[in-house]
Amino acid sequence: MRLVFLGTPEPAVAPLYALLDGGHTVDLVITRPDRRRGRGSDRTPSPVKSAALARGLRVGHRLAELDDLHVDYGVVVAYGALIPGAVLERLPMLNVHFSLLPRWRGAAPVERAILAGDAETGVSVMTLGVDLDTGPVHLERRVAIGEKTASALLDELSHLGARALVEVLASPELLQHPNEQVGEVTYAHKVTKETLHVTPQMEVDLFLRTVRLGRAYCFVNEKRLLVVAASRSTVAFEAGRLHVLDGLVTLGVANGALTLDTVQPEGAKTMSGASWWSGARLDSQLARWS
């Protein structure tokens, strides 16, 4: 088939490559504009743009570039913006969404599934509609979440979605007969900095699930500390207190305690919790975290 592909972040690269490797022709790739990173003036292309250029594909940044194209379908994977109804009227589009719809419609389905403690998630290949993630589903595939990090789970879903997308496009039955979504609707609201702030009021399970999202942080004596990895502790003490025993740095939470396995202080590299504590030179009797 002749296709146009719309996507931006790294998880959209595997589906793009799967289409090309599956014999489809991608006439155009639409991705979000290059972004300025850091304090310099240089702009960085999206992962999809870099991948597309590496394969010699034409790349654009404006939906208006679709106007003069004559293709069979558009394919959308984490593009990062809503597609107007006028565009969808001209060009039918398939969307690879990283959840089992209608659960976790929206911007952060992988993160919200982890935070909620879901046992499984998956991918849904659906027809894109004007309303957010409401279209009928052509094919879904499921995976167990377990203790996977958001990064690892998203990578798994990216490749699973790539295979599912190719399967749908190869099957007239799947392509022409999608099923309406059935089940409880939930929304995956965008993850904010506050979402990633782990606090003494949290229970152990929620703390650990938040750490699995990446970029979780707390404050120790009002200094920001990234929590890269943590584990359950058998020690129990007051929420908001720090406890140090045999080199293990432990935080008290609402229903127990957690050991800081790996952290990253402000302006420093990633290190073990023990190394951070040794360099911080804090008094465990007086130190507090929030």
Alpha-carbon distance 77 to 97, whole Å? Answer: 7
CATH number of 204-280: 3.10.25.10
Contacts of residue 112, Cβ cutoff 8 Å, sequence gap at least 6: 104, 106, 186, 188, 189, 191
Segment 193-248, tens digit of pLDDT: 999 999 999 999 999 999 999 999 999 988 999 999 999 998 878 899 988 888 89
pLDDT for residue 270: 96
**What stretch(es) of the chain map to CATH 3.10.25.10?**
204-280
pLDDT for residue 283: 82
Place of tokens 């432990």: 250
CATH number (3.50.30.30, 3.40.50.170, 3.30.930.10, 3.40.50.300) of 2-188 reads 3.40.50.170
Q: What DSSP string runs through 260-287?
A: EEEEEETTS--EEHHHHHHHHT--TTT-
Segment 128-184, tens digit of pLDDT: 999 999 999 999 999 999 999 999 999 999 999 999 999 999 999 999 999 999 999
pLDDT for residue 199: 97
- Which 8-state DSSP code applies to residue 289? B
Place of tokens 């155009």: 28
Q: What is the largest CA-CA distance in the chain?
A: 70
Q: What's the mean per-residue pLDDT of the chain?
A: 94
Question: Would the pTM count as exceeding 0.85?
Answer: yes
